[in-house]
Amino acid sequence: MGRGADSDSDPDVEDDDYYGASAKASTSAAARRAPLTSTAGNSQAQKASKAIARERRNYHIHRLYVRQEHKECLAVIEEVLGEFGGLCEYPIYVRALIKRHEGKIAESLTLFQAATALNPHNVANLKQVGRSLYLLGRHRAAIDVYDEAQNAVGADDWEIWHNKGLCYMYLKQFDESVECFKGANDIQRHDTTYAQMGKVYALQEKYNEAVDVYLEALEFSPENPEVLTTIGLLYLRMGESFRAFDYLGNSLTHDPRDPKAILAAGSIIQDNQDVDVALIKYRVAATQTPNSAQLWNNIGMCFFGKRRYIAAIACLKRALYLDPFEWIIAYNLGLVHLNTGQAASAFHFFSSSINLKPDFPSAYMYLAVTLAKLDDHDNACAAYEKAIEMDPGDHLFHLNYALTLYVAGEKERCVERLEVFEGLWKGLDDETKNVDDEVPKMRGLVRKALGMSDVFGGGERSAVL
């Protein structure tokens, strides 16, 4: 009797593929299941037929799972599990996968663990346990499981490397992470691995390396719009807008409705003063992401470029309503208000922009221009000083400062600033000089005014552009 109770619980770990491995347990199981026959050969045959019976419906389960007919699949699994007392590896495995599809990771983890308990030698189970742990955010535990899997499998498996890399990435151990991804790529190359590696580099702000990785990925799969978009965005971040545009344009030919690519491409088009084309692009994006603050910001600036100030303010305000933390929207609103001559409103927007992002020197300059318009000369000067202190190399700061000083009648300091400006101006290349034709005009005006002192009025406004 005692023996019988033992054998009831004992052979649970055994599975049909590996029945030879734990000889003692399996014989006892056979003894229990076939108590009338005692010859070894007979029990062996029975077991084989049992094993076949157990796997008989696996093909069916697999087919249903691949067809994503999850409901029927679960029903079949239920049946099979009921038939064999829950001791079948594959149905449990598939059930766990379906649970994961439904977003129930914790349940799927227990199922995978059950499958591993049934068959500890199957690496697929171990990998899935690791994956579940990773999805649950328990990265350290996941790495341990993957290590175990790596020892078990002997040969290299890119998936294990890749997933380990992911875990390291979330643990912020970037060097290990990159190592793992490289290991994965050495075995077999995959888009996802490249994408993740690029992401790790981008997280560390090593954009050049990131671009290299993505370019390599592009060689491998040249028509992946996501990779193209990402490269475009990285180039944009590095300030190489022409190359960025190439890639973004490519990406848009493959997927013309991707809002991210549209937004990025639109911003480049906009930078090149082709406002109408940009607006058309944004129209496509607006139907998909009507609540995107960035999109409304760009649309607002398009209208600003077309000198339709009311529309611009409306769009920018909507953007600010949607995302009050975005400093650049406040900054843009300040610009538009400054242009429409509403200096008090402009001041508020510049100051909130500076509150949100205190390390953007241009905002200080515009704040200074605004303050000068509001006749607050001392604070205007302070703001200029602050801007220049943060970035002494920007010629516009000095020119505008000179203008303000001139208007306030401080000619000596004005000349001083103008000289600094001249020095910087000479150092610029022609392309930068031609970006804004107001600057040389203004320069001429101030020089003339300083020489002849009379013909001058309302200077700052145009320099602001």
Partner 1 sequence: MHHLNATRDYDACIDLCTKMLEKNPYDQQAWTRALTAKNWIDETEMEEEGVAEIMMDENATAQVARPGTSFARPNTSASRAGGGVATGLSSFNQGMRPMTRAGAPMTGFARPATAARPSTGSSRDTIETAFRGSGRPGTSRPVSSAARLTRLGTATQLSEPGGPFIDVDKLDLRKYAQKDALARALIEYIMHHDRNPKKAVELASLATVNANFKDWWWKERLGVAYYQLGMYRDAEKQFKSSLKDQPMIKTVLQLAKVYIRIDQPAAAMATYVKGAELFPGETSMLLGQARIHDALNDMHLGVPLYKEVLKWDASNVEAIACLAANHFYTDQPEIALRFYRRLLMMGVNNTELWNNLGLCCFYASQYDMTLACFERAIKMADDEEAPDVWFNVGQVAIGIGDLGLAYQALKIAVSVDSTHAESFNNLGVLELRKGNVEAGRANFEKASREAEHAFEPAYNHALLAFKTGEFQEAYERVEKALECYPEHADSVELKKQLKKHFTLL
Query: Rg of the chain over CA atoms, in angstroms?
Result: 34
By CB under 8 A, tell whether 342 contacts partner 1: yes
By CB under 8 A, tell whether 9 contacts partner 1: no
Residue of 351, 362, 379, 462 that binds partner 1 (CB under 8 A): 351
CB neighbour burial string for 373-396, b if at least 16 within 10 angstroms, e if fewer = beeebeebbebbebbbebeeebbb
Which residue from 198, 224, 229 is spatially nearest to 211, judged by alpha carbons?
198
336 touches 309 (CB < 8 A): yes
By CB under 8 A, tell whether 218 contacts partner 1: no
Residue of 56, 62, 67, 101 that binds partner 1 (CB under 8 A): 101
Residue of 32, 243, 308, 317 that binds partner 1 (CB under 8 A): 317
φ and ψ of 297, to 5 deg = -60, -50
The helix/strand/coil state of 71 is helix
Q: What count of residues does the chain have?
A: 465
- Cβ 349 to partner 1 shortest distance, Å: 9
Residue of 312, 320, 372, 387 that binds partner 1 (CB under 8 A): 320
By CB under 8 A, tell whether 318 contacts partner 1: yes
Residues from 426 through 465 that contact partner 1 (CB under 8 A):
none
The helix/strand/coil state of 118 is helix
- Cβ 314 to partner 1 shortest distance, Å: 6
Q: Please tell me the distance from the alpha carbon of residue 442 to that of residue 446, in angstroms, as a whole number.
A: 6
By CB under 8 A, tell whether 100 contacts partner 1: yes
Total site size for partner 1, rule CB under 8 A: 44
Site string for partner 1, 273-312 (x = CB under 8 A): -------------xxxxxxx--------------------
By CB under 8 A, tell whether 221 contacts partner 1: no
By CB under 8 A, tell whether 153 contacts partner 1: no
Q: Please tell me the distance from the alpha carbon of residue 6 to that of residue 210, in angstroms, as a whole number.
A: 59
User: Which residues, 6+ apart, have CB-to-CB distance to 105 below 8 Å?
Assistant: 99, 132, 135, 136
Residues in touch with partner 1 (CB under 8 A): 100-101, 103-106, 131, 134-137, 139, 159, 170, 192, 259, 286-292, 314, 317-318, 320-322, 324-325, 327, 330, 337, 342, 344-345, 348, 351-356
